[in-house]
Amino acid sequence: MDFVTGLPESNGFDAIMTVVDKLSKRPKYRACNTTDDAEKTAHHFFDCVVRHHGLPSIIISDRDPKFIPKFWSSLTKLMGISLHMTTSYRAQADGQTERQNLILEDALRCRVSYHGSDWSEHLGTIEYAHPTLVSASTGMSPFELDTGRKERNPINPLNNPTIVTQMQQGIGEYAKRFQEQRPVIIQQAKTQLRRAQERQKNYYDQKITAITFKTGDLVMLDTRRIPSGHVTKDIAGKRAKLAARKVGPYTIERMINPNVAKLNLPRSMRFLNPTFNVDVLSHYVENPSRFATRPIPKVPRIIIDDDSGETKYIVEKLLRKRQFNRKPERLVKWHGLADHESTWEREKDIKHVSHWHVLVEDFKKHQREVKSGRM
């Protein structure tokens, strides 16, 4: 399940709820609004899916705000549905619906008016037409897989002698044939679907490198896969072209599984779901000491507070410690800036960073080495 948003208003609607059956690939579309809450979304789901096909055993969706409220969780539990949430900003986990959204958008572009304000009037036509197309994964059309028969031409089905004969034979024989053929069709579809999934997995595995992470690692987070509100914006409020592509470092709090990590994010990013797939993470690497004299280009700053626009740099290293007005301060080496641009900061203003304990341990280790004469 997913949503197509950013559409022009059409008959009072500005979004589309898309639901795709995992096996048959048959889509369902429902005009809705981006302002719909969990209760309204649940009603859409019931009218669009449940009343026609019954209750699904599983719903796969990303962490859209529509599914977070307790009402939705309570409703799915009451209906006996297991709600599987994908990890943050990972379209691949719900890729089937994501692809369906692209197909739907392309189809609508071919049918809507110049201003695009009549898209809601074409949803029914597109929903009817799509299930008649043969799926590359199953080798059958979604309609055939769902109903056990091929779709008839809606213009004049009686022109087809085969259909006329079937109608004359009566529903009894058709029902018997349907009962016998249905398990075979379902099994064939499952086999084809598994093969397609294996092909997709092999394709995906070829695109990623074998990088492993563990609890406690410092990692950088790819900003192109998180909402633009948490990265540098340009004057128009859009993601700046020169915005930092990676932010951090953040500490891996724990590995949920080999492919998903939970990060210890700062308070400024508390609105983000802290679980991320490893393909948006990379190991944090400090500037090598042997290249200390090499000029370091300034990196784009990261907006910490969207309201105030306050900006901060990444704390790379703690160089010195002192007391100023009876308050502890640290000389901070900022990531991406030269050593002479290090500044004294009050400890209370920087100790909230996620890798604070690592910074302190490195500082203590450096002090011990200095005292032992190894520096």
Q: What is the CATH number of the domain that holds 91?
A: 3.30.420.10
Task: Answer whether 353's CB lies under 8 Å from 334's CB.
Answer: no
**pLDDT of amino acid 34:** 86
Instruction: Record the pTM.
Output: 0.41
Angle at the Cα of 338 from the Cα atoms of 371 and 269, rounded to 5 degrees: 95
Mean pLDDT (the chain, rounded):
69
- When pLDDT is cut at 50, 70 and 90, the band that residue 305 belongs to is very low
pLDDT exceeds 70 at position 249:
yes
Residue 293 inside a domain? The answer is no
Q: Which residue, of 232, 264, 283, is where some domain finishes? A: 283
DSSP secondary structure code for residue 63 in this structure: -
Cα–Cα distances (Å) from 349 to 124, 162, 229, 315, 355, in that order, read 57, 79, 23, 11, 14
pLDDT exceeds 80 at position 302:
no
Cα–Cα distances (Å) from 113 to 10, 11, 70, 128, 201, in that order, read 11, 14, 40, 20, 39
Sign of CA dihedral 194, 196, 200, 203: positive
Gap between the Cα atoms of 345 and 43, Å rounded: 53
Residues 46 and 117 in one domain: yes
CA 226 vs. chain centroid, Å, equals 9
Q: Give the least confident one: 57-66, 223-232, 330-339.
A: 223-232
Task: Answer whether 287's CB lies under 8 Å from 230's CB.
Answer: no
- When pLDDT is cut at 50, 70 and 90, the band that residue 294 belongs to is low
Task: Answer whether 283's CB lies under 8 Å from 211's CB.
Answer: yes
- When pLDDT is cut at 50, 70 and 90, the band that residue 134 belongs to is low
DSSP secondary structure code for residue 47 in this structure: I
Angle at the Cα of 131 from the Cα atoms of 125 and 135, rounded to 5 degrees: 140
Q: Give the least confident one: 126-135, 186-195, 296-305, 345-354.
A: 296-305
Gap between the Cα atoms of 299 and 245, Å rounded: 10
Average pLDDT over residues 200-210: 60
Residues 5 and 94 in one domain: yes
pLDDT exceeds 50 at position 144:
yes
Number of domains in the chain: 4
Q: Give the least confident one: 5-14, 74-83, 209-218, 288-297.
A: 288-297
- When pLDDT is cut at 50, 70 and 90, the band that residue 265 belongs to is confident
**pLDDT of amino acid 269:** 67
Report whether the peptide linkage leading into residue 65 is cis, meaning its omega lies within 30 degrees of zero.
no
Number of other residues whose CB lies within 10 A of the CB of residue 36: 17
Q: Give the least confident one: 128-132, 158-162, 181-185.
A: 158-162
Among 40-49, 66-75, 100-109, top mean pLDDT goes to 40-49
DSSP secondary structure code for residue 103 in this structure: H
Task: Answer whether 80's CB lies under 8 Å from 72's CB.
Answer: no
Q: Give the least confident one: 309-318, 343-352, 354-363.
A: 309-318
Gap between the Cα atoms of 128 and 140, Å rounded: 16
Residue 295 inside a domain? The answer is no
Residue 330 inside a domain? The answer is yes
- The first and second tokens of residue 48, run together, are 């669009």
**pLDDT of amino acid 252:** 92
Gap between the Cα atoms of 82 and 73, Å rounded: 9
Residue 294 inside a domain? The answer is no
Q: Which residue, of 181, 207, 233, is where some domain finishes? A: 207
**Element containing residue 19 per DSSP (H, E):** strand 15-20
Residue 65 inside a domain? The answer is yes
Give the percent of the chain with pLDDT over 90.
2
Secondary structure of residue 253 in the 3-state scheme: strand
Residues 333 and 254 in one domain: no
Residues 86 and 195 in one domain: no
Residue 99 inside a domain? The answer is yes
Domain containing residue 42: 1-132
**pLDDT of amino acid 77:** 65
Residues 10 and 97 in one domain: yes
**Straight-line distance from the first to the last Cα atom of the chain, in angstroms, rounded to the nearest whole number:** 59
**pLDDT of amino acid 306:** 42
Q: Of 265, 262, 244, 266, which Cα lies nearest the Cα of 253? A: 262
**pLDDT of amino acid 275:** 86
Residues 161 and 95 in one domain: no
